[in-house]
Amino acid sequence: MNKETIRNRIEQIGIIPAIRFSSAEDALFAVKAVSDGGIPIAEVTMTISGALGVISELARNKPELIVGAGTVLDIETASRCLDAGAKFLTSTGLDLQIVEFAVKQNVVVLPGALTPSEIMAAWKAGADFVKVFPCSVLGGVSYIKSLKSPFPHIPLIASGGVTQQTAADFILAGAAGVGIGRDLINPEAVRRREPDWIRELVERFLQIVKDARSRRATS
């Protein structure tokens, strides 16, 4: 898949599952359950023990999956993630060097940003999306709505505080998509190895996003 295909697929689905578990085994189980449920995207965070191995295994065994690297904090880590097979990079905060590196490598990048200045800088540097994190601390849905007024052309991914109760509101406020962790991938479901539990949540969130987009298109 080329960069344009990956970017379009992320925008089309509108949900980026954040995989944050202590073990590689838990992470792999979570990714498989999410993918089987209908979201072929996974942000494997660098906080996972053996994260690079997880990315490598997924890239090798599930080529249809858009596996990305999350919580990337420096260029060295970014480079190692791409070598492992990551198809996109995302960071918790804004590091323009990482954005510029991804642009040079022709890889989709979703830098984290919070303030209007950071969002502007990320977009000017070549970001494909800007992940507003943690958006809940600055008003959540109302903050995304406020940002879309001056930045209608920038695709924002709302991350931090997205739940079943708020996901539709983030989309209606103008978010291009949402980043979701434990509210999509219930830790207890992973601990008990219950993929159906996760698949049910995946299907629910997909329907929420689809319905909200339909409402936004007709409003």
Q: Is the pLDDT of residue 146 over 80?
A: yes
Per the annotation, the verdict on 131 as an active-site residue is yes
Q: Is the pLDDT of residue 53 over 90?
A: yes
Q: How confident is the model at residue 137 (pLDDT cuts 50, 70, 90)?
A: confident
Given this model, what pLDDT does residue 13 score? Answer: 97
25: CB partners within 8 A, 6+ apart: none
In whole angstroms, give the CA distance from residue 175 to residue 173: 6
Q: What percent of the chain has pLDDT over 70?
A: 100
Q: Is the pLDDT of residue 209 over 90?
A: yes
The torsion angles phi and psi of 41, rounded to 5 degrees, stand at: -135, 140
Q: Which of 4, 25, 43, 148 is catalytic?
A: 43
Q: Which of 131, 145, 200, 203 is catalytic?
A: 131
Q: What percent of the chain has pLDDT over 90?
A: 96
| Residue environment code for 10-46, b if the CB has 16+ CB neighbours within 10 A, otherwise e | beebbbbbbbbbeebebbbbbbbbbbebebbbbbbbb
Which of 185, 168, 164 is CA-nearest to residue 177?
168
Q: Is the pLDDT of residue 219 over 90?
A: no
Per the annotation, the verdict on 43 as an active-site residue is yes
Kindly indicate whether the domain formed by 3-218 is annotated with CATH number 1.20.120.450. no
Laid out side by side, the sheet with 130-132 consists of 108-110, 88-90, 66-70, 41-45, 15-19, 177-180, 156-159, 130-132, 112-113
Given this model, what pLDDT does residue 138 score? Answer: 83
Across the chain, mean pLDDT equals 96
Residue ranges of the domains in the chain?
3-218
pTM (predicted TM-score): 0.95
